[in-house]
């Protein structure tokens, strides 16, 4: 979908058409941009940018608080349209999906005609535009879907895969983030064509298992199937605060609330989490996590909250204050009777500057 969150509001409020629209927190507080219309992106506004920075880039931008229930409802309606063309639909997010139409081409005849029919129905029934990539596999289809936004259709037939990929920057490949891109540049690799010239052993030596994936992807090889069942690996909640939390008492209170939300999600899905992770962000945007894996799973708000509070005390939160807290459960097992848990010993540490 094209700038999905903003597009929903612009469809329902014609006065927003043609204006820079930013979905996110207040620019007068500590809000963050969740999404931006194409008009806003022309000013350099991007998701995850502090809203205060966004307003400086575009003083006349319209800021709208996110309405995720509204977006989920719209997403469900769009995915019903997708599933009317093929049952093989794999959600990638609320506004993105992979569709395998290999065995569902009738009555359209070709995948390109299926794509055109999907775009037409989404526009007619939902009043929104969707950009589609048609290709032999997920990797190429994903890259193609971003190639001609908004409201685009890009078709890559098998015999033209290399021609399509070669001039693109290496970062166009799934899994190539800023760190990998810098490492590739150090090897003299700028484009996918450059990447394809590298021997497998060179890439594996530098990037490990990821190197073999880069080798395959640079050749347009992707054997991943479209999976209709999506396995969720974690459940979590986090919150950015308008004013920094300065005391452990205030932080503990927020962690208890977040733990209750996580416990409710686990209970609703009849799951238990073995690993509990706490996320902390300081006022300078330094972000770190602390995690503990239990011998048995839990869905207890009391247990999750107690672990979260103890994990917090392995950080410098009380000294540096906190602008964001998060609690996540992972390592799922089927839910069951509440189990005993062990006192905190050595948390797993992870730190990154943002």
pLDDT for 227 equals: 86
Task: Report domain 4-66's class.
Answer: alpha beta
C-alpha dist (Å) from residue 210 to 155, 200, 207, 317, 351:
27, 11, 5, 35, 22
The helix/strand/coil state of 354 is coil
pLDDT for 230 equals: 63
Domain spans of the chain, in order of start:
4-66, 234-353
DSSP state of 158: G
Q: Longest Cα pair distance anywhere in the chain, in angstroms?
A: 65
Cis peptide before 107 (omega within 30 of 0): yes
| 234-353 CATH fold | Dna Ligase; domain 1 (3.30.1490)
**Look-up of token digits 């409020």:** 13
Strands 33-36 and 21-24: antiparallel
Please report how many Cα atoms fall inside a 13 Å half-sphere around the Cα of residue 164, on the Cβ side.
27
**Look-up of token digits 């247990």:** 303
Q: Residue 163: is it exposed, middle or buried by C-beta count within 10 angstroms (0-12/13-18/19+)?
A: exposed
Tokens of 51: 């809203």
Which residues, given as ranges, of the chain have pLDDT below 50? 336-354
**Look-up of token digits 């015999």:** 159
Write the CB contacts of 3 (distance below 8 Å, at least 6 apart in sequence). Answer: 35, 36, 37, 38, 41, 150
The helix/strand/coil state of 157 is coil
How many CB atoms lie under 10 A from the CB of residue 179? 8
DSSP state of 32: B
> Could you read off the pLDDT of 60-89 as tens digits, one per residue?
999 999 998 999 999 999 999 999 999 999
Round to whole Å and give the CA distance between 291 and 308: 9
Q: What does the H/E/C string look like for 171-229?
A: HHCCCCCHHHHHHHHHCCCCEHHHHHCCCHHHHHHHHCHHHHHHHHHHCCCCCCCCCCC
In angstroms, how far is the first alpha carbon of the chain from the final one?
28
Strands 89-93 and 62-64: unpaired
Q: Is 159 among the catalytic positions?
A: no
Tokens of 137: 């596999």
CB 295 within 8 A of CB 342: yes
Round to whole Å and give the CA distance between 163 and 239: 45
Catalytic residue among 67, 96, 238, 338: 96
**Look-up of token digits 């609320």:** 94
Mean per-residue pLDDT of the chain: 90
CB 180 within 8 A of CB 189: no
């Amino acid at each position: 979908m094209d700038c999905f969150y903003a597009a929903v509001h612009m469809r329902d409020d014609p006065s927003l058409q043609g204006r820079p629209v930013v979905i996110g927190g207040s620019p007068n507080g500590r809000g963050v941009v969740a999404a931006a219309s194409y008009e806003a992106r022309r000013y350099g506004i991007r998701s995850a940018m502090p809203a205060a920075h966004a307003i400086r880039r575009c003083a006349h931008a319209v800021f709208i608080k996110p309405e995720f229930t509204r977006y989920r409802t719209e997403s469900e309606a769009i995915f019903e349209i997708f599933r009317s063309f093929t049952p093989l639909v794999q959600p990638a997010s609320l506004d993105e999906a992979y569709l395998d139409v290999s065995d569902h081409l009738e009555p359209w005849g070709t995948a390109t005609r299926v794509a055109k029919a999907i775009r037409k129905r989404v526009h007619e029934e939902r009043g929104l535009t969707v950009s589609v990539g048609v290709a032999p596999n997920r990797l190429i289809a994903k890259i193609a879907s971003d190639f001609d936004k908004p409201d685009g259709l890009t078709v890559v037939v098998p015999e033209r895969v290399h021609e399509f990929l070669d001039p693109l920057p290496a970062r166009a490949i799934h899994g190539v983030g800023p760190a990998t891109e810098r490492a590739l540049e150090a090897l003299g690799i700028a484009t996918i064509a450059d990447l394809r010239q590298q021997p497998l052993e060179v890439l594996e030596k530098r990037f490990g298992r990821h190197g073999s994936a880069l080798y395959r992807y640079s050749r347009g090889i992707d054997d991943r199937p479209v999976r209709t069942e999506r396995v969720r690996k974690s459940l979590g909640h986090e919150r950015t605060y308008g004013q920094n939390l300065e005391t452990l008492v205030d932080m503990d209170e927020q962690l208890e609330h977040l733990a209750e939300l996580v416990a409710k999600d686990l209970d609703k899905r009849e799951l238990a989490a073995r690993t509990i992770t706490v996320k902390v962000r300081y006022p300078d945007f330094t972000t770190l996590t602390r995690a503990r894996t239990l011998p048995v799973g839990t869905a207890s708000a009391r247990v999750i909250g107690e672990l979260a509070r103890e994990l917090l005390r392995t950080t410098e939160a009380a000294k540096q204050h906190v602008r964001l807290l998060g609690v996540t459960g992972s390592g799922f097992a089927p839910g069951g009777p509440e189990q005993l848990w062990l006192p905190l010993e050595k948390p797993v540490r992870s730190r990154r500057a943002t």
